[in-house]
Amino acid sequence: EAGVVQSPRYKIIEKKQPVAFWCNPISGHNTLYWYRQNLGQGPELLIRYENEEAVDDSQLPKDRFSAERLKGVDSTLKIQPAELGDSAVYLCASSSHRGQDTQYFGPGTRLTVL
Amino acid sequence: QKEVEQNSGPLSVPEGAIASLNCTYSDRGSQSFFWYRQYSGKSPELIMFIYSNGDKEDGRFTAQLNKASQYVSLLIRDSQPSDSATYLCAVRGSKKLTFGTGTRLTIIP
């Protein structure tokens, strides 16, 4: 069984530029999560989807961050414009049923904002 | 008070010894508890989960949960150099999974 797929693995951009991250969850997993992990910290939830519906986006900085999961499978997380403080690893995870099951993480995208 | 607290370490353990990792949480309504291992530059990988008070064993790993004390731990027996990593405790409350900052474990050959 294929795991969670993310791309790109690394991204370096200058501040004020836009950036997008893509995630394909484990097949059959209805719940998808985007996390941000700063160095030396645990992952922090940005947004959770149940199928195509964002059911928890309370931690998403909505002035510059947006996310979508149009067909309830793949998801994209966007930052526009990026700031220096956005440098982090962005992790996508998925679980099989309404967020109650174990979450499995993708390899992450390491973002560096210069 | 942080929702999930872990000693950041580093914790150094001789090869072959038992490594003990601890985690406390603040939400008494928390229902499930997870331990993830994260190698440097990699994403978190699930090791174990536990829902009920007591111990749960899986190979060299034992998770222990005490809901009255709001405490969960992970024991690693016969520690190997490959166990050197950061161990993240995660607690599922009513709304989301919250991670601790992780404990960095180093196994000394």
Q: pLDDT by residue (tens digit) across A6-40?
A: 999 999 999 999 999 999 999 999 999 999 999 99
Phi/psi-derived region of residue B16, left when phi > 0, alpha when psi is between -120 and 50, beta in every other case = left
Residue A99 has pLDDT above 60, yes or no: no
Task: Provide residues of B within 8 Å CB-CB of chain A.
Answer: 4, 8, 34, 36, 42-46, 49, 88, 90, 92, 95-102
Distances (CA, A) of B92 to A27, A107, B39: 23, 22, 22
Give the chain B residue whose CA is nearest to the CA of A3.
B45
Rounded Cα gap, residues B23 and B70, in angstroms: 9
Q: pLDDT per residue over B65-85, tens digit each?
A: 999 999 999 999 999 999 999
Contact between residue B47 and residue B40 where contact means Cβ atoms under 8 Å apart: no
Nearest-by-Cβ selection for A106 from B34, B43, B90: B43
Distances (CA, A) of A106 to A34, B15, B38, B78: 10, 30, 12, 29
Nearest-by-Cβ selection for B100 from A42, A45, A105: A42
Nearest-by-Cβ selection for B46 from A99, A102, A108: A102
Q: Place A70 in a pLDDT band, splitting at 50, 70 and 90.
A: confident
Residue with tokens 């956005």: A86
Contact between residue B11 and residue B106 where contact means Cβ atoms under 8 Å apart: yes
Q: What residues of chain A lie within 8 A of the CB of B44, using their CB?
A: 43, 91, 105
Nearest-by-Cβ selection for A42 from B46, B92, B101: B101
Contact between residue A9 and residue A110 where contact means Cβ atoms under 8 Å apart: yes
| Mean pLDDT value across chain B | 94
Rounded Cα gap, residues A95 and A27, in angstroms: 10
Q: What residues of chain A lie within 8 A of the CB of B102, using their CB?
A: 40-42
CB of A102 within 8 Å of a chain B CB? The answer is yes
Give the chain A residue whose CA is nearest to the CA of B8.
A40
Rounded Cα gap, residues B75 and B65, in angstroms: 11
Bond prior to B14 in cis (omega within 30° of 0) = no
Helix and strand numbers, DSSP H then E, in chain B:
0, 11
Q: What residues of chain A lie within 8 A of the CB of B46, using their CB?
A: 102-104
Residue A67 has pLDDT above 90, yes or no: yes
Residue A100 has pLDDT above 80, yes or no: no
Contact between residue B73 and residue B63 where contact means Cβ atoms under 8 Å apart: yes
Which SS3 state, helix, strand or coil, does residue B42 take? coil
The residue of A37, A110, A112 whose CB has the most chain B CBs within 10 angstroms, and thus the best one to mutate to test that interface, is A37
CA dihedral B91, A29, B87, B72 (to 10 degrees): 30
Q: CB A105 to CB B34 under 8 A?
A: no
Rounded Cα gap, residues B109 and B81, in angstroms: 7
Residue A65 has pLDDT above 90, yes or no: yes
